[in-house]
Structure 1
């Protein structure tokens, strides 16, 4: 490699100049920090980045966490504190602001019942962390045979009570419903496919009467005439079928056609001197 031209009377080799340039560049990189829009960019620490990502992820999946909280309270069926819910969902390490937002979101849910804690002077926790949360069933308080009968007796109408509403707050309802049905205290509608209870009504045991099995066999053994023969057989017995009209003479009479009302003319005349001509054309 040929030497460089002398500068100020001093000869410099290519290797020396390249070393100096590299050292100069290295010095610039070590002393200067990259700028972005005139402001030094600071790389966040791993802990701060993880906390920001967790906070963003929690806000994005807020509804999912609340759904899990409802399922947790439904499975436990006992009041739980906010800290117990956070521990179950592994959200206890969230920032206090995120935990407070989760608390407010829980209180807004229709399936969750919040009970505030009684005020105390020795209370160590902040007010928003106190109180208990409980699952609110579709039929609150219906979780035994006695409470089910009490609910059915207080119903203002004779509509059915769906089994799915009973099961919502009382998963172990089947043995009690079967026993109440055998005691004729409730009426149960069951599915034809698998004989599962579907709807229930209130029943009265005093209205139940045992029918002789021999009479039941005779009743179901007797065949009824067809629908076409029923009016003729009733006529032979001097009775009239409800399907026969009361007056055969009026059966083929048609109702008189309704007269159509003449529509009022809502024409708007721009020129009054044309009114007579327009009335003449309307009479035609």
Structure 2
């Protein structure tokens, strides 16, 4: 048999094998195809009693509701109207499903639930909770004064609940009631800090009449020039070396803690009279030096 005849025979056998495999892999006409059941989104609704996780569909509509609350801030929205406006799907409607959805919404940071007894309209409502509870200049000034840290508040975070806060910030800054750090590029407020006119150095407008109006004390241009001429080293290690060269101890240096009494005193071992003695089974083997010890103690 030639090489061409062998090749044709191989191709013929291969085609027959492929045909047989295809026919055997096809399901019988009488065998029904099994159908897989898909769980309904309502089966994965939040349930605090058994800690069922919130489904992605529910969280999507929770975010829709939060956007509605943000748009109407600071005015609250009745819960029933809110659920109607976000057009809940059929599987999230009904008393049980809506109750679970409201629990999921109340768990969001930016959604605050108001009970019917506390609501002005006597109905259960929701309102938007901003990052900072500030809506005007007086609230901003008092809020900054109550801060426990000196980090201030980001203007971007203030805009979350007070979008048009920039004019008020500029006014309070001109009065000396807040400190403002601005962006170098465009000069827009970036962060605000507490301030008080009582902390400022002032001088009388009329030196002959100290009880008259005061104005902010101006810093001498010569002082500003000298102050600006001092530049900190760009490298922190160079700054530490300069401080140590001037006889100063950097705050990053490890300090040695010395005891107030100097050397540690050695504790004397106290012999207990009623202490339990060991090695009693060796009484006939070991020598008894108790008399020698007593004689030495009496001699001292």
TM-score normalised by the chain length of structure 1: 0.51
Q: Could you tell me how far apart the structure 1 residues matched to 2:113 and 2:232 are?
A: 61
> What do the CA deviations read for 1:180-217 (whole angstroms, capped 9, x no partner)?
0111111101111222212111112240554669x537
Q: Which residue of 2 aligns with 1:99?
A: 98
1:71 to 62, 67, 74: 67
Q: Does 1:108 align with 2:107?
A: yes
**Paired residue for 2:80, among 79, 83, 97?**
83
With over 3 angstroms needed to count, the CA separation of the structure-2 counterparts of 1:36 and 1:192, relative to structure 1, is same
Would you say the 8 A contact 1:82–1:133 is kept in 2? Answer: yes
1:135 to 112, 125, 128: 128
Return the offset for 1:220.
3.7
Query: Counterpart of 1:134 in 2: which secondary structure?
Result: strand
Given the alignment of the two structures, is residue 188 of structure 1 paired with residue 208 of structure 2, yes or no? no
Conserved 8 A contact 2:41-2:57: no
Q: Equivalent residue of 1:71, what SS?
A: helix
In terms of Rg, which structure is larger?
1
Q: 1:168 to 1:225 in 2, by over 3 A?
A: closer
Q: State the distance in 1 between where 2:89 and 2:218 align.
A: 67
- Using a 3 Å threshold, how does the CA distance of structure 1 residues 101 and 35 change in structure 2: closer, same or farther? farther
1:212-235 per-residue CA deviation (whole Å, 9 max, x = no partner) reads 69x53795499948999xxxxxxx
Alpha-carbon distance between aligned partners in 1 of 2:167 and 2:231, rounded to the nearest angstrom: 42
Which of 153, 156, 161 is matched with 2:153 structurally? 161
**How has the CA–CA distance of structure 1 residues 175 and 225 changed in structure 2, closer, same or farther, with 3 Å as cutoff?**
closer
Aligned residues: 178
For the 8 Å contact 1:184–1:208, the answer to whether it is kept is no
Distance in 1 between residues matched to 2:44 and 2:59, nearest whole Å: 12
1:156 is displaced (CA, Å) by 2.8
Instruction: String of CA shifts for 1:236-280, please: whole Å, max 9, x gaps.
Output: xxxxx9664449xxxxxxxxxxxxxxxxxxxxxxxxxxxxxxxxx
TM (norm. structure 2) is 0.49
- Structure 1 segment 1-284 matched on structure 2, within 5 A: 60-77=56-73, 78-91=75-88, 94-96=92-94, 97-118=96-117, 130-140=123-133, 142-206=134-198, 207-209=200-202, 210=216, 215-216=220-221, 219-220=224-225, 224=229, 244-246=245-247
Conserved 8 A contact 2:178-2:192: yes
| Cα drift, residue 153 of structure 1 | 1.6
Q: Cα gap change, 1:99/1:223 in structure 2, threshold over 3 Å: closer, same or farther?
A: closer
